[in-house]
Structures are given as structure tokens and as C-alpha cells.
């Protein structure tokens, strides 16, 4: 077989340019028994890229717990699927678009949202909510503002247009993300359990249908680029930026859901990274069949595209469907109604090969089994990170009041309203708790009494100090945020963002974080049902060395409320007693107080006792279910006093606080970040604490709801107006808005 | 001196707007319309009297702010 | 009341609108596809929110030329009642069924937040459940809601009482220059306008998203209840 | 034949985008910038060989769809 005229000769050097190692290329040669064509080399290189093959992470991901009686499909499908009752399923996943968002923040973030939406509706779900977990560089870095602006506009631009409410997320700033922001987008959808669509192709001879937008030369080699280390050169790889078209995505959602209501579909898969290649290879591979593609039939946006370009294009808003042959005209009519391209571009075969034809020539002919089975799998060397040095004695140079003011105005705690006010959070008419109203967003399942509780969480500074604790903490905080609304936590999706796996210390962080996550998931019956790994998040320092981001295993959590009317928020009610649930030792290691007041990121992160986590959370949820809790907020960044300030700012009333725990320094009590704690407002504190004691849960009365601000034990009152002014200043100042 | 900067998407970059407008024109009954591309014009009143200097200034502004060179190209011209 | 909701490619608040109409009428509104050329027998036509044609070119511009629009024009000429919300308002102005235009928000950002609306008159089918001067809350969610018209048009709207709603403070005070209470910068803080016969109303905020205490309140419900009262045959 | 339609806000209509760009240019250190106005260009590939006919067609499209005459003016020109 000859490669197309005018194309580069395939050599080991070219293979290396494509991101394959010499050894990997050797395997390609032995699988093929000849020199591959350029198109074949392209297919191998993307399928064996970190992004598609998970070659550095696969052995570790397998160790995560992924099952529970309510899990319908765990990792391995386009998204995770869990039973939420009443014959319905929630389908959800999180995915990164980190590198594209650095190169072109608007389009990078927008296409990230588009991609994760497709992962969810491809399974038959109507998307009902989006969330996003964002990490940006230092606010002082002049690039940060441009990136924040573009990313937020991009997420809003896409999500608002497709009409899926953006209901939550999280944002951190840290210099470790200066040249490498993280944009992790999560989508949640709802489907009937008996109408879930999978991607395994079946039925020799069945047509393979292409729908959506036309193919252009967008993002060729995006999959390999997103796996390669990121540096200034990346900016020169520009012209292949993908542009999203949310309008077409909206049409695609409606058209696919309309088709899914019929019996036409055998299998369906979105075209994500490495577009046509990965979708066709994965569908055929999972179904154990062969696939023949005729690229002349592919709808093309540009003239003269080669087979190589079409197979590797990452043009957005496209899907591949295997269809029952007698339903093709029905399907065609639906896509034509929605004014989308529809083309039969191939069929399934019994050859076990993917065969790609273009202009009368076979451009690729690859056996699928070895392409999958012999994909590289690395158990890369790991090195332990040094144990964090103990914090040692610490003083309070500013006092409680000053510290609170500094904390609630700092980048990691400042109000995110500037961000979420650019996201349509109400479209669909089912948003019960909008951003900022509760620890998890609450979205009603239309036409039922059910509610979904949704959150994303991770505390990267904990992960850097101790990746295992940090991994466990991220899972626990997601679980806690769901519990705090009264919902039952069901499952998580994750987005594991790390530096270069070729650095043993990064691999060490990765492995430790997964261990910690796994422990927490097991202890909390909170399995991982989908996820994404993003490695090589590195930037080049001026001295030429490469610097890794903070280890950031972002967790997306999902819970369910059988009766959504029972969901509670965090806003201070107009009456009640404030009670702390959970034990306080006053842990200031890696706390925001330490960072903002002392400028230090030191010490061990707060320890996490998963048995206590479970006990405290189960108790809080039962109390909410029993109708005994007026408001609830978990204690996380910034500790108890920050949690109280956030409740006050969200509500109408303030609070009057009692003296801190005796025998503990006040700053350690008010700002320590001990885990597994909640602040609740209850009407009957006596009954609540008695029930807690019976459940083996430690509680402590913090004070009373009342007044117009935070009245400290000293008698000083910080007015709510002042709290709000400080809290809401950061984003407008950063963005000059 | 008035300068006009015209910013268009680079060749090969998807232009969702242009695509949608092309389609709408077709539906409206305007036949014979091929590709449609949509861009931006920025008209600047500059405190310059030398056309070459004005253009140079506009070029710098386009590179620095007005165009997103990752996906867009630009042209500057002196109009008055 | 028989209500129909027009769905254009890219419309995305048709489900919200259907819920609101169902809440007050107890019956399912008809969905009308933009490609139709006739309307069924209806008391009310609603153009809901969304991003018809992606909001490309100008919001509502392409939808204003959709095949269904001549039928909507005929319906209007025959004295039919039409409500356009958000993108629906933009479409009505682009189609010339309401005066003025909606420009990019003054701050050049999409705005998704609650706002307060002051009811300017209560003798229309859209506002009869309120008193003039009443204030209600509604979510807004748009990038292009900055109402503008030439001076003569604005004067005419004012003089003939064709301003239905203005953005205001919770206490009803209107301050055109204040970004907090007139967030998109609309001229005279205009949030909704009426046709000369008071039977067509366009507004940017979303009363349909506030018809259920669970979602944060029922502030938007009187608009739909008033329509039912006025239009039930 | 390629035709360009340039659509600008009418004089007297406030152009917040233009104002913002003017401000940003100033912040970036570009001095001597007066008024900034921002508009849209639509480039149409038309199936016409006669420039006058092409312009006429483009004018009709601009009046019908590409410009909103309530707030915008337009200019058409044949560019190739
Ligand atoms: N990127 C974002 N998009 C939308 N909402 C966000 C985003 N970041 C934060 N939020 C919302 O802001 C609120 C506070 O965020 P965060 O401090 O992370 O909450 P918590 O500490 O309870 O997890 C939450 O309601 C969260 O969903
Ligand atoms: Mg959080």
C-alpha cells in the first residue's frame, strides 16, 4: 500500500514528532508488518497518546472503587450512570480543557463545555446542569486577567447558548497555575434507565452515520498536544485552534434526543479528542467488529482535505452513530429537520480491521485488537514527596476581626458572583439552589419530586503538602457539600490534573492522591463512575526548568434528594441557634489563615478521619431529613468564622457568637480547617445536641442567630455591609469592571 | 486621522456566524450566495497627521488588543 | 386560554415558558415549529427566550425572517395577543412588531441575576394583576438587553403609556444611570414595552422562571394569571 | 464576485463597545486616540459577474437582514 502522494515519508523521526517513542514505534511496525502510511501513523499516535490511552494512569485508575448497587455504568462509557430512583438515571462526567484554554481562553473553555455536554447526551441524557472547576495563576500575573476573562466568557457563551444552566463550580488562584490554567467542565444529564445508549458497535453491515457539523482542519493533533509538555512553543502551534458553535450543539442535542426516542440507534459516540479516529476505533473495538470508512462521504468544510487531516481533525459538534439499516431514512429526516449534516460514511465489517478509504485509495488498514491491546501501558517510577515539616508555634499578629476581613476578601474566598452572574443559572426552570445559595447546587428533576445535588471540590494546597490526604479530602468535601443540602451522596466523577508523569515526584503525587481518593470513596460509599486525567500540566520557568502545577484531583459529586422540597441552603435564617458539628483541634497547617496572614504555605494539611466524616455527615443528613435544620454550611477554607460570615452574607440576619473552645488559641478555633465539620442553624439546639450525643457526634453551640453582622465574643460587631463590601471587591478589581 | 482596522477570522477557522448568516440568506430567498464570512471593523480617530505613522500605530493596537492573533488576521487602512 | 409557544432553532426557554403556562392554565401549551406557516387557533402566542440562530449577526435578526413570522404578523394585525420574553422581545423588535432595538448590555457582559421591575400601568392584559407602581422580582439572563430607540420613539412610548415595565430598586425608585438597578443600561430603564393596541408585550427579564416557591418565588405568576383572566373566552 | 457590507451603529447611538475599546487602548498606553466605533463586516461570495448587480444584491441583503436600520447604517462595496 502506498501513502498518498506528496505526504511526508514515515520514519522513526516522524513518529517521534508525532509523540511516539522509539519503542512504541517499534510496536507499530510489528503490528503492521510494514511501514505504516502517514494516516496510519496518525491513528496510532493519537490512539496511543496519553490523552486517549491513559498509558501512565491506567494501572492506578483501576484501583478506584467504581461499584455500588446504584451504579448502572461506571468508568468506561462516555459518562457515568447512576440510578436516582423513579426509573431515572443521572449521567455525568467531568473533563479538562486546560491546554486549549491557555492558548485561546474563550474557545478553549467553550469547546470544553461543548465536549463534556456531548459525552453526556451521547448516552441518551438531556443535559440539565453544568459546573466548572477553574484554577488560575496569581492575580498579580498580568496574564491572569486575560485568561479569567476569556474562560468565564467562554463557559458562559457556550452554556448559555445551549440552554443548560451553569449552577456551580469552584475557583482557585495560585502562581503554580501561571502558565497553565485548569478548566474542568462537568455536565449532568437525566435519562430514563431503559433508554441509555452505549458505544459498542454491533451488526455486521450496519451503516455508520456521521452527523453534526462539517469537518475542517481544526485542532489536528490536539490529543497529542494536550499530552505534551506545555511551553512557549505551544503558542506557536496556534492555527489549529478549534472554534465551538453552541448553536449547532443545541440543534445536535435536540436532534439526537429526538432520534433516541426511536429504535434507530445501535450505538452512538461523540467525536471528542482525535475525532473520527477515536470514535470509530473505540466503537468498533468495544463491539469486537471491523469498520470501513469512506472519507469521500465525510461532510467537509474545506477543499482538498487529506485522509490524515480528516481522521485527526477535532472539529467540534460531531457524532458517529451505528444505525439499524432500515431506519436510516427516518434518522436522515430528523437531522435534516434540525438542519444538520447527515452522511453515511461507512459500515461495520467482520474483518476486525479499521479500513479507511479516500479517493479510491486505501489510506489505512489497521487490525483493531492489537491497536487496543498493545497500547502502551506504563508503570512509571514514583518518588515520595517529603513529609511536610510540622508547623511549629505560631502567633496571631492581627487579631480575629482583621484576619476575618483579610480572609473573606482574599482571592480564594472572595465572592464569585462576578463569575456566576455571567452564567445563566436558571434556564430550564428547575434550579432550586443557584450558585452561592447552598453548599451544592440543587436542580429539580422536571416532572418528579427528585432533586440533584451537585458540587465540585478540591483543595490543591492540601494535595501538594500531602497528596494522599488531599485526595481523600477532596472526595470528603464533595460528599460533605452534598450532605449539607440534605441530599444523599451517590457517586463522583473526577478530573485528575497533574504535572508530567515522567517526573517521579509527580507520579508519586498522582499515585498517592488516587490512594487517598479511593479510601475516601470506599469509606463514604461514594464510588467513582467517570473521570478524566490531564497530565503534563507544566510551565517553563525562566531558568528553563519545568514547573508542575499543584496536584489537583478535582472531584465532581452528585447526590439525590427524594423530596427536593426538603433541600436546605446556607443562608442564615432569621432565628435559631448556631451549632458546630464535628470536633475541632484547631488545625492551622496549610490553612488559608496561615497563607493570608503569615504568607506561609506550610505544615501538614488537616487530618481526615473518614469514620468521623461518615458519622457526622450521616447525622447531619438525618437531621435535615427530619426537618430539624434551618440552614447548613460545611466548614472548609478559612474555618468556622469564614463559614459563619458566608452564612450571614447570604442571609438576612447576622449572629452573636459565644466564646471559643477553652484551652485553644482563638485563631486556631476560628480559622483552623479541621475536617468533617458543619455549621447548622437549628430551632431546638437542645434536642439537636442530645441526638448528636446519641449518635456519637461531637457538637458545640457557637452562638445565636441575630443582629445585623457578626458579633464576636469580644462584643465587637462586623457589619454585614462591611463584610459584603470586602467580599465582593476582589473580582471587579481584578477585572477592572 | 481616521484609521479602520478590519479583523477577520483566519482562513480555515470555523466561522459559525458566517455559516448561519449564509444559511439565513438562502432561506430568505437570496440565491447565488457562496461563502459568508463575518468580521469586525474598528474605526479609530487618531491624533496623527502622517498616514504612515497612523497606520503603524493602528497596527500596533491591532496586534496588542484589537485582534486575537490566535484565530484572527487584520488589515489596517487610513480612511480620512 | 389556548397558548402557543414558538420554537426557533436555538430557542431554549420554551420548556420554562410551558411550565409557567401550565401552572396557571392547567393545560399544555402548543409548541409551534418555526417552519410552520400557519398558526392554530390561539388566544396567546409566546415567543420565548433562548438564542435563536445562535444570536449570530444580531439577536433575533434571523428568527424575525422565519417562515412562521408572516402568520404571527397576521395574528397581530387581527388583534391577537403576543408575549415576547428575552430573545422573543428581540425578535419582535427585529420584526418591527415592537419599536426600538436591544443592544449589547452596557457593561458588555452577559447578566444573569435577579432584577426588580416596576409595573407602569395595570390596564393591560399583561399587567392587570398588579397595581401601577408595584415592584416584582424576575431573573434576567441576557447579553443584549440594552433597550434603545430614537428620541421621538421614546417620547411617543412615554406619552402613550407604552412602557410596561422599568428596572427599578426594590422600593420602586428608577435611576437610569445606576448600574445596580438598571443593569443593562436601557434608556429610561425600560424593561418591557407594549404595542399601540396594548396587545403585544416584549420584555427582557423572565417572569416564567419565577412561578414556583421552590425556585425562589412566585413573583412572575401574576403576569400569566392576568393573561388567563383577560383572554379566557 | 466578493462584496463587503460594513455595518456601523448610526451616529448618535451610543457604542459601549467602542467606548470600552477606547478605554482599554488608553490603559495599554496608546495615547492620542479619539473616538472609537465598532462595527461588523460581512463578506459575501456572490454568484454575479456585474459589479453593479452584485452591489444591488448586497444592498438588498443588508436592508433585509444584515443591518438593523433602526440603529445601524451600512455601506456595500465590491472587493473582488
Ligand atoms: N466556576 C464557578 N462557576 C459557578 N459557580 C461557582 C464557580 N466557582 C464557585 N462557584 C459557586 O460559588 C459558591 C462558593 O464556592 P466555593 O467556595 O468553592 O464553595 P464550597 O467551599 O462550599 O465548596 C458555590 O455555590 C459554588 O458552586
Ligand atoms: Mg468547594
A-chain residues near C143 (CB < 8 A): 160
**Beta strand pairing call for C30-33 and C3-7:** parallel
Is the pLDDT at A229 greater than 60? The verdict is no
pLDDT tens digits, one per residue of A512-521: 999 999 999 9
CATH number of the domain within which A715 lies: 3.90.650.10
Is the pLDDT at C121 greater than 90? The verdict is yes
**Chain center to CA of A63:** 19
Task: Give the model's confidence band at A232: pLDDT under 50 very low, under 70 low, under 90 confident, else very high.
Answer: very low
The H-or-E segment that residue A691 falls in is helix A685-694
Which of C76-103 are b and which e, b meaning 16 or more Cβ less than 10 Å from the residue's Cβ? beeebbbbbbbbbbbbbbbbebbbbbbb
Which among C88, C86, C78 has a CA at the least distance from the CA of C32?
C88
CB contact under 8 A, C101 and D70: yes
For residues A529 and A549, what is the distance between their CA atoms, to the nearest angstrom? 25
pLDDT tens digits, one per residue of B47-68: 999 999 999 999 999 999 999 9
Mutation for testing the B interface, residue in A248, A252, A315 having most B CBs under 10 Å: A248
Specify if A725 maps to a domain: yes
Which among A459, A407, A455, A423 has a CA at the least distance from the CA of A646?
A407
Instruction: Tell which atom from ligand 1 comes closest to the C-alpha of A412.
Output: 17
Q: Is A171 in the pocket of ligand 1 (CB under 6 A)?
A: yes
Question: Do the interacting molecules here have an ipTM over 0.85?
Answer: yes
**Burial class of D60 by CB neighbour count within 10 A (0 to 12, 13 to 18, 19+):** middle
Q: In what order do the strands lie in the sheet with A318-323?
A: A265-270, A318-323, A207-212, A341-349, A290-294, A353-358, A361-367
What is the predicted pLDDT for the residue at A423?
A: 98
Task: Give the active site residue among C14, C94, C120, C208.
Answer: C208
| From B16, B20, B23, residue closest to A243, measured CB to CB | B16
For residues C118 and C165, what is the distance between their CA atoms, to the nearest angstrom? 5
What's the number of CA atoms in the CB half-sphere (13 Å) around residue A466?
18
Is the pLDDT at A237 greater than 90? The verdict is no
Specify if A481 maps to a domain: no
For residues A26 and A410, what is the distance between their CA atoms, to the nearest angstrom? 53
Which among A325, A219, A346, A222 has a CA at the least distance from the CA of A281?
A346
For residues C229 and C127, what is the distance between their CA atoms, to the nearest angstrom? 11
Specify if A228 maps to a domain: no
| A168 CA to centre of ligand 2 in angstroms | 9
For residues A289 and A346, what is the distance between their CA atoms, to the nearest angstrom? 13
The domain tally of chain A equals: 1
Q: Is A420 in the pocket of ligand 1 (CB under 6 A)?
A: yes
C-chain residues near B27 (CB < 8 A): 65, 67
What's the number of CA atoms in the CB half-sphere (13 Å) around residue B52?
0
Over residues B36-45, mean pLDDT: 96
Which among A231, A541, A516 has a CA at the least distance from the CA of A385?
A516
Which chains share 3+ C-beta pairs under 8 angstroms with A? B, C
Q: Is A416 in the pocket of ligand 1 (CB under 6 A)?
A: yes
Tracing cell 478553549 back to the chain, one arrives at A108
What is the predicted pLDDT for the residue at A274?
A: 83
For residues A108 and A102, what is the distance between their CA atoms, to the nearest angstrom? 7
| From D18, D40, D46, residue closest to B38, measured CB to CB | D40
Mutation for testing the C interface, residue in A110, A254, A427 having most C CBs under 10 Å: A427
**Is the minimum CB–CB distance between C106 and chain A shorter than 8 Å?**
no
Is the pLDDT at A502 greater than 90? The verdict is yes
C3-231 CATH pick, 3.40.50.1370, 3.40.50.880, 3.40.50.11540, 3.30.365.10: 3.40.50.880
**CB neighbourhood size of A505 (10 A):** 18
Helices and strands: H and E segment counts in chain A? 27, 28
Give the residue from chain C lying closest to D68, CA to CA. Answer: C94
Task: Give the model's confidence band at A241: pLDDT under 50 very low, under 70 low, under 90 confident, else very high.
Answer: confident
Give the residue from chain C lying closest to D39, CA to CA. Answer: C57
Is the pLDDT at A233 greater than 50? The verdict is no
Which among A476, A522, A520, A517 has a CA at the least distance from the CA of A678?
A476
Instruction: Tell which atom from ligand 1 comes closest to the C-alpha of A166.
Output: 4
Q: Which of A152, A158, A170 to mutate to test the pocket of ligand 1 (most atoms within 8 A of CB)?
A: A170
The domain tally of chain D equals: 1
Task: Give the active site residue among C14, C34, C86, C142.
Answer: C86
According to DSSP, residue A69 is labeled: T
What is the predicted pLDDT for the residue at A372?
A: 93
pLDDT tens digits, one per residue of C12-40: 999 999 999 999 999 999 999 999 999 99
Calculated CA dihedral for residues A586, A589, A590, A595, nearest 10 degrees: 80
Is the pLDDT at A118 greater than 50? The verdict is yes
| A456 CA to centre of ligand 2 in angstroms | 6
pLDDT tens digits, one per residue of D41-54: 999 999 999 999 99
CA diameter of chain D: 47
For residues A445 and A268, what is the distance between their CA atoms, to the nearest angstrom? 25
pLDDT tens digits, one per residue of A311-368: 999 999 999 999 999 999 999 999 999 999 999 999 999 999 999 999 999 999 999 9
Instruction: Give the 3-state secondary structure of residue A309.
Output: helix
Over residues A25-29, mean pLDDT: 97
Q: Which of A157, A158, A166, A169 to mutate to test the pocket of ligand 1 (most atoms within 8 A of CB)?
A: A169
For residues A415 and A727, what is the distance between their CA atoms, to the nearest angstrom? 5
Alpha-carbon separation of residue C129 from A95, C3, C125, C226 (angstroms) = 47, 19, 9, 5
What is the predicted pLDDT for the residue at C157?
A: 98
What is the predicted pLDDT for the residue at A540?
A: 83
Which among A415, A423, A417, A422 has a CA at the least distance from the CA of A167?
A423
Q: Is A483 in the pocket of ligand 1 (CB under 6 A)?
A: no
What is the predicted pLDDT for the residue at B27?
A: 86
| Residues in Cβ contact with C229 at an 8 Å cutoff, skipping those fewer than 6 apart | C125, C128, C129
The residue segments making up the domain with residue B44 are 1-77
For residues A367 and A375, what is the distance between their CA atoms, to the nearest angstrom? 12
Dig out the grid coordinates for A2 from the structure. Answer: 502506498
CB contact under 8 A, C209 and A446: no
Task: Give the model's confidence band at A223: pLDDT under 50 very low, under 70 low, under 90 confident, else very high.
Answer: low
Mutation for testing the A interface, residue in C5, C8, C11, C12 having most A CBs under 10 Å: C12
For residues A616 and C54, what is the distance between their CA atoms, to the nearest angstrom? 47
CB A41 within 8 A of CB A527: no
CA diameter of chain B: 47
Instruction: Tell which atom from ligand 1 comes closest to the C-alpha of A425.
Output: 4
CB contact under 8 A, D8 and B47: no
- Residue D76 sits at the vertex; the CA angle it makes with D71 and D79, to the nearest 5 degrees, is 145
CATH number of the domain within which B55 lies: 3.30.1280.10
Task: Give the model's confidence band at A221: pLDDT under 50 very low, under 70 low, under 90 confident, else very high.
Answer: low
C-chain residues near A426 (CB < 8 A): 16, 112, 139, 141, 206, 209, 215
The beta-strand segments (E) located in A318-390 are 318-323, 341-349, 353-358, 361-367
pLDDT tens digits, one per residue of A414-447: 999 999 999 999 999 999 999 999 999 999 999 9
Instruction: Tell which atom from ligand 1 comes closest to the C-alpha of A434.
Output: 25
> Would you call A97 a catalytic residue per the annotation?
yes
Is the pLDDT at A238 greater than 70? The verdict is no
| From B20, B27, B28, residue closest to C54, measured CB to CB | B20
Is the pLDDT at D20 greater than 70? The verdict is yes
Give the residue from chain C lying closest to D41, CA to CA. Answer: C57
Nearest Cα of chain B lies from the Cα of D29 at a distance, in angstroms, of: 10
| Residues in Cβ contact with A446 at an 8 Å cutoff, skipping those fewer than 6 apart | A128, A190, A428, A429, A430, C15, C19
| From D6, D31, D44, residue closest to B36, measured CB to CB | D44
- Residue A326 sits at the vertex; the CA angle it makes with A324 and A327, to the nearest 5 degrees, is 65
φ and ψ of B43, to 5 deg = -100, 125
Over residues A98-127, mean pLDDT: 97
Instruction: Give the 3-state secondary structure of residue B36.
Output: strand
| A608 CA to centre of ligand 2 in angstroms | 16
Is the pLDDT at A189 greater than 60? The verdict is yes
Give, using CA atoms, the residue closest to atom 3 of ligand 1. A169
Alpha-carbon separation of residue A195 from A1, A192, A258 (angstroms) = 43, 5, 12
What is the predicted pLDDT for the residue at A224?
A: 55
What is the predicted pLDDT for the residue at B12?
A: 87
**Beta strand pairing call for A699-705 and A318-323:** unpaired
Q: Is A435 in the pocket of ligand 1 (CB under 6 A)?
A: yes
What's the number of CA atoms in the CB half-sphere (13 Å) around residue B18?
25
For residues A313 and A307, what is the distance between their CA atoms, to the nearest angstrom? 10
State percent of chain A over pLDDT 90. Answer: 93
Alpha-carbon separation of residue A702 from A580, A644, A661, A710 (angstroms) = 6, 10, 9, 12
CA diameter of chain A: 85
Give, using CA atoms, the residue closest to atom 10 of ligand 1. A169
φ and ψ of A555, to 5 deg = -115, 130
Over residues A296-302, mean pLDDT: 96
Task: Give the model's confidence band at A219: pLDDT under 50 very low, under 70 low, under 90 confident, else very high.
Answer: confident
Q: Is A646 in the pocket of ligand 1 (CB under 6 A)?
A: no
Q: Is A557 in the pocket of ligand 1 (CB under 6 A)?
A: no
- Measured in residues, chain B has a length of 80
Dig out the grid coordinates for A274 from the structure. Answer: 482525535
Give, using CA atoms, the residue closest to atom 8 of ligand 1. A170
Which listed ligand is nearest to A592 at the C-alpha? Answer: 1
What is the predicted pLDDT for the residue at A236?
A: 43
Is the pLDDT at C2 greater than 60? The verdict is yes
For residues D30 and D8, what is the distance between their CA atoms, to the nearest angstrom? 24
**Chain center to CA of A7:** 39
| From B16, B24, B38, residue closest to C62, measured CB to CB | B24
Task: Give the model's confidence band at A648: pLDDT under 50 very low, under 70 low, under 90 confident, else very high.
Answer: very high
Rounded to 10 deg, the angle between the C14-25 and C221-231 helix axes is 60
> Would you call A353 a catalytic residue per the annotation?
no
A231-240, A713-722, C175-184, C200-209, range with the lowest pLDDT: A231-240
| Residues in Cβ contact with B50 at an 8 Å cutoff, skipping those fewer than 6 apart | none
Nearest Cα of chain C lies from the Cα of A51 at a distance, in angstroms, of: 31
Which among A140, A123, A117, A25 has a CA at the least distance from the CA of A73?
A123
Over residues D16-41, mean pLDDT: 93
Q: Is A415 in the pocket of ligand 1 (CB under 6 A)?
A: no
CB C133 within 8 A of CB C119: yes
Task: Give the model's confidence band at B28: pLDDT under 50 very low, under 70 low, under 90 confident, else very high.
Answer: confident
B-chain residues near D61 (CB < 8 A): 25, 28, 30, 33
Q: Is A439 in the pocket of ligand 1 (CB under 6 A)?
A: yes
For residues A475 and C138, what is the distance between their CA atoms, to the nearest angstrom? 36
Over residues A185-202, mean pLDDT: 97
State percent of chain A over pLDDT 70. Answer: 96
Amino acid at each position: 500500500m502506498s501513502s498518498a502522494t506528496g505526504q511526508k515519508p514515515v520514519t522513526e523521526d516522524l513518529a517521534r514528532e508525532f509523540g511516539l517513542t522509539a519503542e512504541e514505534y517499534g510496536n507499530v511496525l510489528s503490528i503492521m508488518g510494514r511501514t505504516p502510511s502517514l494516516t496510519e501513523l496518525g491513528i496510532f499516535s493519537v490512539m496511543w497518546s496519553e490523552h486517549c490511552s491513559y498509558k501512565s494512569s491506567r494501572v492506578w485508575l483501576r484501583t478506584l472503587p467504581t461499584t455500588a448497587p446504584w451504579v448502572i455504568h461506571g468508568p468506561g462509557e462516555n459518562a457515568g450512570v447512576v440510578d436516582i430512583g423513579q426509573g431515572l438515571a443521572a449521567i455525568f462526567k467531568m473533563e479538562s480543557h486546560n491546554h486549549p484554554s491557555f492558548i485561546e481562553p474563550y474557545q478553549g473553555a467553550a469547546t470544553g463545555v461543548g465536549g463534556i455536554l456531548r459525552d453526556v447526551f451521547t448516552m441518551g441524557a438531556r443535559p440539565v446542569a453544568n459546573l466548572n472547576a477553574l484554577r488560575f495563576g496569581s492575580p498579580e500575573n498580568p496574564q491572569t486577567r486575560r485568561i479569567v476573562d476569556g474562560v468565564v466568557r467562554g463557559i458562559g457563551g457556550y452554556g448559555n447558548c445551549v440552554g443548560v444552566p451553569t449552577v456551580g463550580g469552584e475557583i482557585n488562584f495560585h502562581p503554580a497555575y501561571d502558565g497553565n490554567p485548569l478548566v474542568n467542565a462537568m455536565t449532568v444529564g437525566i435519562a430514563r434507565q431503559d433508554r441509555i445508549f452505549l458505544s459498542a458497535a454491533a451488526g455486521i453491515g450496519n451503516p455508520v452515520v456521521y452527523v453534526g457539523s462539517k469537518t475542517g482542519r481544526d485542532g489536528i493533533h490536539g490529543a497529542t498536544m494536550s499530552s505534551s509538555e506545555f511551553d512557549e512553543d505551544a503558542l506557536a502551534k496556534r492555527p489549529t485552534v478549534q472554534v465551538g458553535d453552541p448553536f449547532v450543539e443545541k440543534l445536535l442535542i435536540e436532534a439526537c434526543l429526538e432520534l433516541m426516542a426511536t429504535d434507530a440507534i445501535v450505538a452512538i459516540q461523540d467525536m471528542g479528542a482525535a475525532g473520527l479516529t477515536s470514535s470509530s476505533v473505540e466503537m468498533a473495538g468495544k463491539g469486537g467488529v471491523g469498520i470501513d470508512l469512506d472519507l469521500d462521504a465525510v461532510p467537509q468544510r474545506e477543499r482538498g482535505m487529506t485522509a490524515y487531516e480528516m481522521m485527526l481533525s477535532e472539529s467540534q459538534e460531531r457524532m458517529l452513530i451505528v444505525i439499524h439499516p432500515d431506519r436510516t431514512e427516518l434518522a436522515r429526516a430528523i437531522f435534516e429537520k434540525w438542519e444538520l449534516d447527515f452522511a453515511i460514511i461507512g459500515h461495520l465489517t467482520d474483518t476486525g480491521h479499521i479500513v479507511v478509504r479516500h479517493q479510491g485509495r486505501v489510506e489505512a488498514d489497521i487490525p483493531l485488537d492489537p491497536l487496543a491491546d498493545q497500547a502502551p501501558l506504563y508503570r512509571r517510577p514514583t518518588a515520595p514527596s517529603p513529609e511536610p515539616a510540622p508547623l511549629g508555634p505560631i502567633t496571631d499578629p492581627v487579631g480575629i476581626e482583621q484576619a476575618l476581613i483579610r480572609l473573606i476578601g482574599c482571592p480564594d474566598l472572595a465572592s464569585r458572583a462576578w463569575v456566576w452572574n455571567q452564567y445563566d443559572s436558571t434556564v430550564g426552570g428547575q434550579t432550586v439552589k443557584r450558585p452561592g445559595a447552598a453548599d451544592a447546587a440543587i436542580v429539580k428533576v422536571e416532572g418528579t419530586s427528585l432533586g440533584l445535588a451537585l458540587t465540585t471540590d478540591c483543595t490543591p494546597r492540601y494535595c501538594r503538602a500531602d497528596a494522599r490526604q488531599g485526595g481523600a479530602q477532596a472526595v470528603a468535601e464533595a460528599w460533605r457539600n452534598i450532605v449539607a443540602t440534605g441530599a444523599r451522596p451517590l457517586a463522583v466523577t473526577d478530573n485528575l490534573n497533574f504535572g508530567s508523569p515522567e517526573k517521579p515526584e509527580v507520579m508519586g503525587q498522582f499515585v498517592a492522591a488516587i490512594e487517598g481518593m479511593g479510601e475516601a470513596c470506599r469509606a463514604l460509599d461514594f464510588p467513582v463512575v467517570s473521570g478524566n486525567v490531564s497530565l503534563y500540566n507544566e510551565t517553563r520557568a525562566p531558568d528553563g526548568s519545568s514547573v508542575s502545577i499543584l496536584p489537583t484531583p478535582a472531584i465532581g459529586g452528585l447526590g439525590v434528594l427524594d423530596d427536593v422540597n426538603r433541600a436546605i441552603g446556607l443562608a442564615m435564617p432569621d432565628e435559631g441557634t448556631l451549632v458546630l458539628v464535628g470536633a475541632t483541634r484547631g488545625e492551622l497547617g496549610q490553612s488559608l489563615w496561615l497563607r493570608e496572614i503569615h504568607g506561609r504555605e506550610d505544615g501538614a494539611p488537616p487530618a481526615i478521619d473518614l469514620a468521623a466524616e461518615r458519622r457526622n455527615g450521616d447525622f447531619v443528613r438525618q437531621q435535615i431529613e427530619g426537618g430539624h435544620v434551618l440552614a447548613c454550611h460545611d466548614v472548609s477554607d478559612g474555618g468556622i468564622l469564614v463559614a459563619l460570615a458566608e452564612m450571614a452574607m447570604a442571609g438576612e440576619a447576622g449572629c452573636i457568637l459565644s466564646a471559643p473552645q477553652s484551652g485553644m488559641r482563638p485563631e486556631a478555633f476560628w480559622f483552623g480547617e479541621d475536617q468533617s465539620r458543619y455549621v447548622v442553624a437549628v430551632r431546638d439546639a437542645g434536642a439537636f445536641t442530645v441526638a448528636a450525643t446519641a449518635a456519637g457526634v461531637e457538637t458545640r453551640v457557637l452562638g445565636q442567630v441575630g443582629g445585623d453582622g457578626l458579633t464576636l465574643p469580644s462584643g465587637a460587631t462586623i457589619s454585614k455591609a462591611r463584610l459584603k463590601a470586602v467580599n465582593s471587591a476582589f473580582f471587579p478589581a481584578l477585572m477592572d469592571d | 486621522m481616521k484609521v479602520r482596522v478590519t479583523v477577520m477570522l483566519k482562513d480555515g477557522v470555523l466561522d459559525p456566524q458566517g455559516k448561519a448568516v449564509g444559511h439565513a440568506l438562502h432561506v430568505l430567498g437570496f440565491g447565488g450566495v457562496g461563502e459568508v464570512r463575518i468580521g469586525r471593523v474598528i474605526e479609530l480617530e487618531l491624533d496623527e497627521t502622517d498616514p504612515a505613522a497612523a497606520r503603524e500605530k493602528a497596527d500596533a493596537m491591532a496586534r496588542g488588543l484589537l485582534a486575537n492573533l490566535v484565530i484572527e488576521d487584520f488589515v489596517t487602512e487610513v480612511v480620512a | 386560554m389556548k397558548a402557543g409557544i414558538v420554537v426557533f432553532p436555538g430557542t431554549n426557554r420554551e420548556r420554562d415558558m410551558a411550565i409557567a403556562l401550565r401552572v396557571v392554565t392547567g393545560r399544555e401549551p402548543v409548541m409551534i415549529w418555526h417552519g410552520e406557516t400557519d398558526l392554530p387557533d390561539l388566544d396567546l402566542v409566546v415567543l420565548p427566550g433562548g438564542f435563536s440562530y445562535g444570536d449570530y449577526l444580531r439577536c433575533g435578526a434571523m428568527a424575525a425572517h422565519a417562515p412562521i413570522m408572516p402568520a404571527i404578523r397576521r395574528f397581530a394585525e387581527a388583534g391577537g395577543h403576543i408575549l415576547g420574553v428575552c430573545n422573543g422581545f428581540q425578535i419582535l423588535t427585529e420584526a418591527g412588531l415592537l419599536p426600538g432595538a436591544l443592544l449589547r448590555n452596557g457593561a458588555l457582559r452577559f447578566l444573569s441575576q435577579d432584577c426588580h421591575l416596576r409595573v407602569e400601568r395595570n390596564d393591560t392584559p399583561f399587567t392587570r394583576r398588579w397595581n401601577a407602581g408595584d415592584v416584582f422580582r424576575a431573573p434576567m439572563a441576557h447579553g443584549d438587553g440594552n433597550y434603545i430607540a430614537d428620541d421621538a420613539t421614546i417620547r411617543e412610548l412615554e406619552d402613550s403609556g407604552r412602557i410596561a415595565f422599568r428596572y427599578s430598586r426594590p422600593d420602586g425608585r428608577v435611576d437610569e444611570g445606576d448600574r445596580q438597578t438598571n443593569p443593562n443600561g436601557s434608556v429610561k430603564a425600560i424593561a418591557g414595552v407594549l404595542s399601540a393596541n396594548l396587545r403585544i408585550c416584549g420584555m427582557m427579564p423572565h417572569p416564567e422562571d419565577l412561578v414556583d416557591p421552590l425556585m425562589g418565588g412566585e413573583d412572575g405568576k401574576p403576569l400569566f394569571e392576568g393573561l388567563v383572566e383577560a383572554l379566557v373566552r
